[in-house]
């Protein structure tokens, strides 16, 4: 949210602050960025600042959610219990095209704002600015995969849902540790060079260190964009650059791109596409790799293991998906939904 939009809401903030549930503060918490934030003794109403925070909050305490950053699609709603799928769209404070402003935040009457993701200075400054202008406590949580268990425990403490938080934290620890243990046994020579295709044309990708490709690193893949472009966040590349990289595997969350690439005059020139090693990650109710990069990436690790190392990892992905959805998303998928989710997992199928 730009500084101008924040400043424009100062008068509204002043008028509405007395009605905000966050006006009575009773304790201090230290958030993921080391900020000391005064919050109410009891937190009932939570505004998620962006997509990653929305998913984290939904998995832990959906009854505390004030709404989604955007309305779930029909496909997504099929995986979410109706009472929570029907929550309103409130916009977002972070990310590209942020759509919420001071007035929207105050109108929702939150006890706290929670953001989950990068702890870079830009996000710390945003948190401080919005908190100052609204009077609503703003808590930042570390969005790295390694930090998922800690994020659950910190948010569980904030919301007084410690038992549920501990269940999810331990399950996250198990998934992360299993991935580390299994991938450690894969020789370097067997670790594929992977291109992560984002955007409708497949030409947006993640540099080394980007949270958007953290899952690839976690499963031992060699990110060709990271090797070719160095560190950073997202980048737009040319098809000629992808052709020069000649990746062993391409993974994407873009259904239209995955469907079109095998017959596209350009993309069909790539060895990975011709040989059926273009994989479409499951996307409902939340994409398994990215967009947004939240705790939805945990089950995505299992999927990546399967598509990148099909002869080494042959466990029951169907059963693991069912269990993950029941535990984290409050509803196990139906068999038909499992069929659709995992359709892009088998070699040559997109």
- CATH classification at residue 130: 3.40.50.1980
Domain check: are 153 and 193 in the same one? no
Rounded CA-CA distance 317/305 in Å is: 10
**Could you tell me if 279 and 217 lie in one domain?**
yes
∠ CA 44-50-55, nearest 5°, is 65
SS3 280: strand
Is residue 57 a part of any domain in this protein? yes
- Ordered DSSP codes for 172-218: HHHHHHHHHHHHHTS-GGGSPEEEEEBSTTS-EEE-BT-GGGHHHHH
The confidence score (pLDDT) of residue 101 equals 84
* Same domain as 66, residue 116: yes
Inside any domain, residue 78: yes
- Is-contact 289 142, C-beta < 8 A? no
126 and 205 within one domain: no
Domain limits for position 119: 3-173
Helix (H) or strand (E) segment spanning residue 52: helix 51-60
Give buried/exposed letters for 102-112 (b at 16+ CB in 10 A, else e).
bbbbbebebbb
Q: Is residue 144 part of a domain?
A: yes
pLDDT score recorded for residue 2: 47
pLDDT at 99: 75
**Pair (231, 143) in one structural domain:** no
| Spatial contact of 102 and 12, defined as CB atoms under 8 Å apart | yes
Q: Is residue 163 in a domain?
A: yes
Residues 62 and 135 in one domain: yes
Residue 40 within a domain: yes
212 backbone dihedrals φ, ψ, rounded to 5° = -70, -20
pLDDT per residue of the chain (350 residues) written in tens, 0 to 9: 444 444 444 444 443 443 344 445 589 999 999 999 999 999 999 999 999 999 999 999 999 999 999 999 999 999 999 999 999 999 999 876 777 788 889 999 999 999 999 999 999 999 999 999 999 999 999 999 999 999 999 999 999 999 999 999 999 999 999 999 999 999 999 999 999 999 999 999 999 999 999 999 999 999 999 999 999 999 999 999 999 999 999 999 999 999 999 999 999 999 999 999 999 999 999 999 999 999 999 999 999 999 999 999 988 999 999 999 999 999 999 999 999 999 866 544 43
- What pLDDT is attached to residue 112? 98
49 with 108, same domain?
yes
Q: Is residue 77 part of a domain?
A: yes
Identify whether 350 is part of a domain: no
E-assigned strand segments in 18-137: 27-30, 36-39, 46-48, 112-117
In angstroms, the CA 113 to CA 74 distance is 27
Q: According to the model, what pLDDT value does residue 226 have?
A: 96
How many domains would you assign to the chain? 2
Output the pLDDT for position 24: 53
Domain end among 146, 173, 200: 173
């Amino acid at each position: 949210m730009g500084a101008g939009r924040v400043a424009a809401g100062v008068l509204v903030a002043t008028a509405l602050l007395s009605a905000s549930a966050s006006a009575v503060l009773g304790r201090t918490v230290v958030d993921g960025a080391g900020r000391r934030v005064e919050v109410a003794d009891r937190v009932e109403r939570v505004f998620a600042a962006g997509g990653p925070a929305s998913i984290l909050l939904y998995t832990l305490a959906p009854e505390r959610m004030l709404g989604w950053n955007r309305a779930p699609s029909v496909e997504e709603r099929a995986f979410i219990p109706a009472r929570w799928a029907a929550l309103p769209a409130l916009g977002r404070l972070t990310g590209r095209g942020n759509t919420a402003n001071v007035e929207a935040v105050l109108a929702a009457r939150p006890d706290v704002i929670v953001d989950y993701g990068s702890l870079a200075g830009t996000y710390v400054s945003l948190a401080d600015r919005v908190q100052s202008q609204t009077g609503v406590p703003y808590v930042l949580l570390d969005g790295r995969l390694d930090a998922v268990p800690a994020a659950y425990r910190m948010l569980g403490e904030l919301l007084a849902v410690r038992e549920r938080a501990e269940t999810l934290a331990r399950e996250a620890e198990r998934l992360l540790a299993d991935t580390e243990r299994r991938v450690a046994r894969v020789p370097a020579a067997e670790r594929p060079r992977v291109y992560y295709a984002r955007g409708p044309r497949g030409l947006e990708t993640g540099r080394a260190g980007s949270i958007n490709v953290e899952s690839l690193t976690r499963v031992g893949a060699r990110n060709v964009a990271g090797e070719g472009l160095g560190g950073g966040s997202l980048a737009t590349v040319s098809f000629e650059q992808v052709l020069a990289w000649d990746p062993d595997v391409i993974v994407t969350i873009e259904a239209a791109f995955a469907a079109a690439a095998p017959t596209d005059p350009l993309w069909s020139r790539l060895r990975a596409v011709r040989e059926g090693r273009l994989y479409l990650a499951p996307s409902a109710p939340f994409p398994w790799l990215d967009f947004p990069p939240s705790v939805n990436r945990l089950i995505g690790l299992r999927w990546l293991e399967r598509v990148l190392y099909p002869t080494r990892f042959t466990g029951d992905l169907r059963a693991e998906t069912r269990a993950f959805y029941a535990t984290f998303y409050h509803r196990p998928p139906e068999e038909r939904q499992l069929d659709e989710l995992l359709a892009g997992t088998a070699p040559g199928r997109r």
